[in-house]
Structures are given as structure tokens and as C-alpha cells.
Chain A
Amino acid sequence: MTDIIFEKVKKAYRMGEITIHAANDVSFKIKNGELCVLLGPSGAGKTTVLNLLGGMDTATSGKIFSAGEDITAMNDLELTNYRRFKIGFVFQFYNLIPNLTALENVELAKQVCKSPMKPEDALQIVGLNNRINNFPTQLSGGEQQRVAIARAVCKNPDLLLCDEPTGALDTETGKTVLGVLSDISRKMGKTVVIVTHNSLLAPTADRLIEMTNGKVVREVAQDAPADLEKIQW
């Protein structure tokens, strides 16, 4: 069963005289439960595609199906519900709420969904169960990113979207974070999409989508993804 379908999706930004096509006829498919890496240089349109998929932005044209629903046809409230019940988002800069402890940041996600995970369990998954009462400023970047992942996971979403989750982290921490993400896909069966400009991650994915200049240039399903531990950074 195919879960995510992009059909000739365009996203154009008008900047006065010129129009920038951040996504230009983007089409691809991602299967349920896959770990997908969206690869491309900076400015390729990866974030644009991810935001469209996450219902944070609307496409100029084309269709996007997620679990059989066309999200390009959704209104504001439907998009909110889509984000609320189906999507978990992880950002490059964590975007934790500074005034809430790690646990509370995760609990925040719990507030909005129907069948949340226990926040403590979510933190357990990312390996942070001993720092749950710390505030974001008291945590390192990697720890903060793991809290962000826990927050996304806690919602028990069908789809976990990560925009450069390791972009602000050093190699070792980055690996830990990626490990967590691949576990979530492999062990929990969630669909995970990771956006990155780091091609070293490519071999670890079930599916690899490469973008340049707003276009998909390569889409491959990798039947035997490499083990994260074996990758040389």
C-alpha cells in the first residue's frame, strides 16, 4: 500500500518581478513504514516539500495524498486536524518551548491527540529518561533534539517529519539522534521522512529521494539499507 503520493506539486514564491519555483513538478511515492531520506543541496526545495507534506504550507498546484486523503484540498481546520492527529515534526533548531521542562514539552504534545504515548515512555525511547525535569537551556543540543523527537513521537503520529534533525549537532550526537529515528521507523513501524543535505545518510534509508533546483532527480527504493553504525562520517 502506498501511503504518501506527490503528484506534480508546484510551490512558487513571487518576489516582485521574478517567481521562484521552490518545488517544480515534484512527484514521488513513499510507502507506509518506510524510512525515507530526502537529500539535496541547500536551496533544493527539500524544506518546502516537507512543509507541504506536513500541512504547514499550501501548494501552488498539484496534489498531495497522505493516507488516501488529498491534503491540498483541505481547509484551515482540516489541516490543523491533520497536523494534530497524523504528523510529528522535528526541526533543525528544536523549537522547544523554553519555559517548559523536557517532560512538559512532551506533555504539551500529549494535550492534543487521541491516543498519545506516555510522555515518560517517549523520553525513554530517545534515551532521556534521567533529564526529564530539566529546562531546554539546561540541555545540550543533542539532548534538546531528542526531546523534540520525543515530543513528536509522543503524539503517536502516522508520519514523522524531520527537517535537518542533525544539522545543528556534532557527528556522534547526530548518530544517536538518527539511531532513534531509524528505531522509530523499524521497530514501531512509523513512516519517517528525514530531510538532509548530508549524502552520507543516503545508504541508511529504505527510500532515497534526491532533489536539486526544486525537482526530484532520483528516487530509489533500497531493499537492504546500510546499518547506521557502519557508516563512516
Chain B
Amino acid sequence: MVSILQKKIFRDIAENRWSFLAIVCICSLGIALFNGINLYVSTVENEVSNYYNRANLADYWIYKKEISESDLDNLRSLKDIQTAQRRKVTDISLPEASGAVIHLHALDGEAVINVPELLEGNNLEEDETSALLLDSRFAEAHGITVGDKITAGKGETQTQWLIKGIVRDVEFVYYAPEGLTIPDYQKYGFAYTNASSLPDVPFNEIILTMDENSNLSQEEISTGIRKTLGGANILSRHHQTSYRKVADAMTGIKQIGLLFSIAFFLTAALVTWITVSRMMENQRQHLGTLRSLGFSKKEIMRRYAFFGILITLPSMLFGLFLARFLIAQSLYDVGITYYTIEATGVRTLSPHLVISVVCVAAITCGGTLVSCRNSLRAMPAELMRPKLPSGGHRILLEKISFFWSRLSFSGKIVTRNLFRNKPRMIMGLLGIIGATALILCGFGLMNSINAMLDKAFSETVQYNVEIKFRTPLTMDQISDIYDTLIGAETIDATMAFSVYLYGENGSLQNPYLVVMDEKQKSLDFRDIEGNPVRLPENGLLITPRMAEALAVNIGSKLTAEQLDGTVIPLEVANIVDFPVGNEVYMSKTAFSTVSEIPFSVRTLLINGNDLALDQLKTDTRISLIETKDEMRNNMLVVLETLQFFQVILILFSGLLSFAVMMVLGNMNYYERTRELATLKVLGFYRNEMEELVLQENIWITIFGLPFGLLIGSLLLRMILKQAATPDLEIYPLISSVSIAIGFAITLAFTMFVNRIMGQKFKNIDMVASLKSVE
């Protein structure tokens, strides 16, 4: 009997194979989405954290002009400090490589913290001078191999360096110095050498690690260190560019992925639940037979739970396959190009698989069991009798005779049908809403990113070239550059340095404080309402995301602390709507009233055409020349993962809406074959039958669309909120073109499924369908 029961289940599945396949497909996509994203994140997090441990990543980087042996010893004796090491850090430029810059670390003895990982060649001998271990990405970009020699500096200070080895550095998993948004291996590299190679450079950096179970706060540690050294610039891991960028990227993806997955899962779960329950309801009579044969309810339920397993297992396998080889692999391929790390390949399993499979099993088995139990409540005899066809009844709309009398005959039938079968309508509606929401969210991501870039680079940014200097310079020191830029319409010199900003509630941010002339023309600031804002003579301008992160408003007091511990009291003068950049802005006048620090130039913002920029390319004072287009493109690259998400999202939600419509169409078809056969006997043409029976799917879709838009906007808002970093804020926007396309896609799917169903009408066997009461 058991095997017959199973045989029966298989036969039912074969009969409902399209619904069954659609459900397996929906469940697979859900599993794939959730797992794919998490496989990627856990792969990278795992690789990174292993690397941090293996290479002993520093907890703090401390900078001071000169650090003596005793400074180091004093620091080592501080509470909870595990190890500390002294380094010389300096930059050398390579004129032969069009002025590329190498950030050089020089050590006394072997590295114990931030241990470089040797990929090729040999480590340096003790006391070996003029030899380097070179950054692998830089070496690759410049075609440098072990044994090559490179020349640094010009004229008298020129030095020759032998490349002894090629290395990776744990501090530079993501190497984007000088405020780069993405790594530029052509321009920037790093290297290791022995301290004796740089006799003229003093030791100027200490890296240290803390005891693992130290419970000192960052502030306590910083204060301790400053006291010991008599002032220093201190950088913790969380402010170190590489560490922060990797961590932020992973958190962002994880959170966005979670939101997507949840939205997808909810839609999928609902459709699955209803379909599975429906399929079970059609088993009523069979249940009655089993009961009358003496099977206990438990035995029957156990057998039917098997049905849920039959959906879960293939979904798990297929979902995992998609997760690993489509989603995780593609994300990894995109992501890993920016991370310099040993790529071990995507993991295949993560605990998330268990979570998602349990969810799917709970929904499929749950749906089966609940409806099975409901059926079993009835007595066997009652079960064997066919369930009475649910009677028709009048719907509320019919009371509105103005509306009702205007409907055509088929219009009336379609309307009443729509409201008769509530579960089907609700499932259809929710399926359509979910799928439309996801599609629109996908398109919205694209719109929002473009709108953000337009806003930033067309409205606010009025300059088209930015020149960054390696070190702060006085106006006199750059007067020759001004001469070169003779054709420029406007040039604004700005000072910028990294500060810690403390809000009134103690929250901390680490932006650049940008100081410019109040008459500057480079940044056309606007407040939230869009009114122009000038740099005030008192106080500073901050962005809305900064205001939120610090929990401050106009008029609030802030404290800015420089890396060396100097404190500047500040007040928020206004909030300006500038979506990119982790910066706060002040006028020269305002700055001079709160700080003694003299104005020095860090960047030039230039507006003008036909500038002689080529001349400046080899200028050693300049670290970077970037045009507006390059900035915009770099932003796009940063957003690459987000764009990838958008593709996945549109693709998956398209499939979801297709599957939903498919399930809906099939359900409609199977439950109404008798009705369809009757229509066929009466001599209805196929298009007339389609109008009577399938038109309701179009209406369901049309009703669902606006709600899909609503939910999609909310979802987009949440996702962009999660994706916001201090560098970047994207406002949700779904353009009308996107809405139209999204709506059209959903409608097209509905019509396509209707077509398929319409084709099936041909095969309805009137004789068989009407032979007896089923």
C-alpha cells in the first residue's frame, strides 16, 4: 500500500508537472539567491580573516616624525600591548614609470606584524641594502620581475633598487591610497626594504597588536599612546583604508543580499504554500480511501510529507548549483579583482544552506501537512464524497448597479470569478506584487545610481579636473602650476586633511575636512530643499548622511580631532545635499577662527578646457590628476557589485513572476477543466474561452502592478539605506520609463502564460471531462 501511495504521488506530480516544476524553480531561485550572496561574502570574509591572522595584521598604526628605541620600549610596556614594531615609511617615485609612486616600508630585522607574504624570489638578507620586496600588483602592472632593477628619484638623489622578491601585504588587501576610490596599480605600489637602505629617513611609524582579550577602549589606548610618545597620529584598524573598505563592502553586500533574499523568499514561500495546499486538496478522495482502509492519520501525514521532500531535495541541489556557480562565482570574479589576496576559490557550503533548506522544507512540508490535516478532520465517508463545488454568490460590486450594469456579459463573469476564488486571487496578487516589486527595485537601483551620479557630477561638481598634491604646499610653491593652467576659467585651492568628528552623543566619523575660499566656484552646494548655499564665515557644512551618523543638526556642536590629537571645536552651519565623498566643508575664514593651522594647498579644483595637463603628469609634487569623467567612471566601478545585484535581481524576479503566472495559470486550468469542457461543448471558440477564463489573470496583474511599485519603492529605499556608506549616498528613484518597462515585463509574462494556457484548451477532451462528476 505504501508503495502504491508513493506511486500515486509520483503520478500526481507527473500530472501537475508544470506547477511542480514551477514550484521547484521558485524554491531553487530562493535558495540560490540567499546562498549565492552568502557564499561569496563568507568566502571573502574567511579568506581575509585567515590572512589577517596568518600575517598578523596590526591593530594600530602610529605616526610621529621621529620614533626612538626608547619610545618603542615605553610603548611596549603599556597595558595590554602584545607586540610593537618600528618602521620607516616613505614614498619614492619612479620617473621611468611615468612618476608612479612606491610606498616604502623599511624594517629593522624581520617583520612580526603585517608580515609580507613572499610570492616569488627571496626574502631580503639581513643588512642587504638597495634591495626591495615589491608589491605583486604593481609589479604585474609594470611588467617587473624578480632580478629587475628600478630607478627612483631624479638627479643626485637617484637610487637604484634591486627587486629581490614579489610580495603581498596584509595592510593593503585593498590598496587605494591618496583618497582613490579604486586601486590604481599603475600609479601606486608599495615595497619592503631593510631600514639600513634608508639611512636618511628616521623611524616614523609604529605598528602594534593588542592582546586578544584586552578590554581597553580605542580612546583609552589612543590617550595612553599619545601620552607615552608625546603626541602622535593614531590609526586603528577601523580607520585603516584597506581593512575598512573590505569590511564595509562585505557588510553592505550581506545586508542588501539579506533584504533581497527575504523579499524573494516571502513571495516564493507564499506561492509555494498555496500551490502545495491546493495540490493536496485534490487528494481528498484518496485520503478518504486510505482512512477507510484503516491507515492512521499519522501514517498518512508521514507519507504525504514525502511530497514536500520531493520539492525540497531537487530545489536544494539546483539552488546550491546556481548559488555556487552562478551567483557566488560571478560576484567573486568581480570582487576579487580589487582584493589582493590568495584566491582560494568560492566555498561550496555555508551554514546558510541549512537555513534556506529548512525554510523551503518547512513551507513545502508545512503546506502539505496543514492541508492534509484539515482534510483528515472530516470523516472517511465524508472525504470520499467529492467536495461540493463551491457555490457561486453575488459579489459586492453587483450592488453598485451603475458599475455592474455597464459590464459586458464576459466582464461580469470575469469579475465574479475573480472574487469567487479568493486564495487564487490573493496568491496571484501577492505573486505579482512581489515579482513586480523586485523587478522595479532592480531597475530602480540603476536609475538611482545614475541620478546620484548626475546630481553629484552635473549639479554640484562644477570643476572638471582635480589635481592632488603629495604633500601640503603653500600658494607660492605652486605658483608655477597656476601659470601652466593659464587657460582655466576657475581654480580653487583647497586644504584637506583627515579628522575624527565626534557628535554630541559621542558617535565618531572619519571624514576629510575640506577648507576652501568662501568665493569658490567649484562646488555648487545646495541644501536639502535645493536652495543654493554658500560656504559660511562660521561653522561647517556637512552632508545629510554625516548629520545622521553623528546625530546632529544645524546648530549642533561638533568636535574635530586631527590624527595628531589636536582638537578643533566646530558648529554645523548647514546641511548640504552632496551624495558622494566622505567630506565636510569649511571656508578659510571660518577655519581661521577655530584653528591656528595655516592654509596649505592639498588639491586644486579646476574648471576649464584645453588645459595643459600633460605637462603636469610628470610633476613629482602631484600625486593624481583626475578628470570629472574619470571620477564618474571610478564611482561606477565601485558600484559594480550593486549593478551586478541589479542584473541578478531583474533576472530572478522575472523568472519568479513567470513561475508565479505559470502556477496560477495551471491551477486555473486544472480546477476549471470541467467548466472549460462545457464551454467547448457549447461551441465557444478558443479566443472566447480565453476571454472568459484567462482574462482574470490580466486583471490580477493590473491590480497588482501599483502595489508592486509601492513595495518595490520601499524595498529600494531600504536597500539603498543599507548600501549607504560615508562615501556615498544614493537616493531611491524609479523613473517612469523603468516603471513602464517593469509593468510591461510583468504583463507580457502574464499574457505569455495565457497564450500557453490557451493552447492547452485545444487538448481538452470534452467527452472525458464531462463523463462523470469527478
**Partner-B contacts on A (CB < 8 A):** 51, 54, 56-57, 76, 80-85, 87, 89, 91, 93, 95, 97-101, 104, 107-109, 111-113, 135-138, 151, 155
Contact = CB atoms under 8 A, between A and B. Distances in A.
Contacts of B770: 91, 93, 95
A111 B688 contact: yes
Given A51-B767, A93-B770, A104-B409, 20 more contacts: A51-B766, A54-B681, A56-B766, A56-B767, A57-B766, A80-B680, A81-B683, A85-B683, A89-B681, A89-B682, A95-B678, A98-B391, A99-B413, A99-B420, A108-B682, A109-B682, A111-B409, A111-B410, A112-B682, A137-B388
Which of B678, B681, B773: most chain A CB closer than 10 A? Answer: B681
Nearest to B388: A137
B313 to A, nearest CB: 34
Given A56-B681, A112-B688, A98 B390 contact: yes
Contacts of B416: 99-100
Contacts of B325: none
A223 B389 CA distance: 44
Which of A83, A97, A98, A151: most chain B CB closer than 10 A? Answer: A97
A120 to B, nearest CB: 15
A93 B727 CA distance: 72
Interface in B393-436: 393, 409-410, 412-413, 416-417, 420
Contact of B413 (A84, A100, A155): A100
A104 to B, nearest CB: 7
**10 tightest A-B CB contacts, nearest first:** A84-B683, A137-B391, A83-B683, A135-B392, A99-B392, A98-B389, A56-B766, A95-B678, A57-B767, A112-B683
Interface string B136-153: 000000000000000000
B482 interface: no
B688 A95 contact: no
Contacts of A104: 409, 412-413
Contacts of A108: 409, 413, 679, 682
Nearest to B420: A99
B287 to A, nearest CB: 23
A223 B80 CA distance: 119
A85 B391 CA distance: 30
A136 B392 contact: yes
Contact of A136 (B391, B412, B420, B688): B391
A76 B761 CA distance: 12
A143 B399 CA distance: 26
Contact of B685 (A56, A80, A138): A80
A108 B417 CA distance: 14
Contacts of A91: 770
B674 interface: yes
| Majority SS at the chain B contact face | helix
B392 A101 contact: yes
A99 B395 CA distance: 11
A72 to B, nearest CB: 16
Nearest to A77: B685
26 contacts: A51-B766, A56-B766, A57-B766, A80-B680, A84-B683, A84-B684, A89-B681, A89-B682, A93-B770, A93-B772, A93-B773, A95-B674, A95-B677, A95-B681, A98-B675, A99-B392, A99-B416, A101-B392, A104-B409, A107-B409, A108-B413, A111-B410, A111-B684, A136-B391, A137-B389, A151-B682
B681 A97 contact: no
Contacts of A109: 682
A151 B773 CA distance: 19
B224 to A, nearest CB: 80
Contacts of B412: 104
B209 to A, nearest CB: 75
Contacts of A56: 681, 766-767
Nearest to A152: B682
A95 B773 CA distance: 9
B770 to A, nearest CB: 6
A93 B770 CA distance: 8
Interface in B498-551: none
Contacts of A82: 683
Given A98-B389, A100-B413, A84 B682 contact: yes
B162 to A, nearest CB: 87
B406 to A, nearest CB: 16
A97 B675 contact: yes
Given A99-B416, A99-B417, A111-B409, A137 B681 contact: no
A99 to B, nearest CB: 4
Contacts of A101: 392
A137 B688 CA distance: 25
A172 B519 CA distance: 103
A81 B683 CA distance: 6
B392 A137 contact: yes
Nearest to A107: B409
B688 to A, nearest CB: 7
A225 B714 CA distance: 77
A56 B681 CA distance: 7
Contacts of A135: 391-393
B672 to A, nearest CB: 9
Contacts of B409: 104, 107-108, 111
A104 B410 CA distance: 10
Contacts of B393: 135
Contacts of B767: 51, 56-57
Interface string B656-675: 00000000000000000011
Contact of A100 (B392, B685, B688): B392
Contacts of B683: 80-85, 87, 112-113
A136 B773 CA distance: 15
B684 A112 contact: yes
A83 B682 contact: yes
Contacts of B688: 111-112
Contacts of B413: 99-100, 104, 108
B387 to A, nearest CB: 12
Nearest to A151: B682
Nearest to B678: A95
A85 B678 CA distance: 15
A15 to B, nearest CB: 14
Nearest to A51: B767
Contacts of A111: 409-410, 684, 688
Interface string B718-729: 000000000000
Contacts of B684: 80, 84, 111-112
Contacts of B766: 51, 56-57
Contacts of A113: 683
A81 B675 CA distance: 19
Contacts of B410: 111
A109 to B, nearest CB: 6
A42 to B, nearest CB: 13
A118 to B, nearest CB: 14
Nearest to B769: A95
A112 B684 CA distance: 6
Contacts of B389: 98, 137
A3 to B, nearest CB: 19
A57 B773 CA distance: 19
B413 to A, nearest CB: 7
Nearest to B419: A99
A97 B688 CA distance: 16
